[in-house]
Amino acid sequence: MADIVKFRASVFIGGMAWLPPAHDPASGNRLEFAADIRGFTPHAVNTGRSRVEQEVVVDFAKRRLVSFGATGVTVLKMTGSDGTVTYRQGHASTEGIVMENEVWGGSEVTFTMRASVSNPLRPGAPSPDYALRIKAKEDGTAHISGSHDGFPCYEFYKQVDFGEFQPIYLHHFLDTGDTPAAMAGEMEYHFEKHV
pLDDT, tens digit, 9 for 90 and up, residues 60-86: 999 999 999 999 999 999 999 899 999
Q: What is the pLDDT of residue 9?
A: 98
What is the percent of the chain where pLDDT is above 90? Answer: 91
Left, alpha or beta for 81 (phi > 0: left; psi -120 to 50: alpha)? Answer: alpha
Residue 93 predicted with pLDDT over 90: yes
169, 154 contact by CB (below 8 A): yes
Tell me how far CA of residue 138 lies from CA of 53, 108, 156, 178, in angstroms: 25, 6, 20, 37
Q: Give the type of residue at 34.
A: A
pTM of the model: 0.94
What's the rounded Cα separation, in Å, for the pair 93 and 52? 10
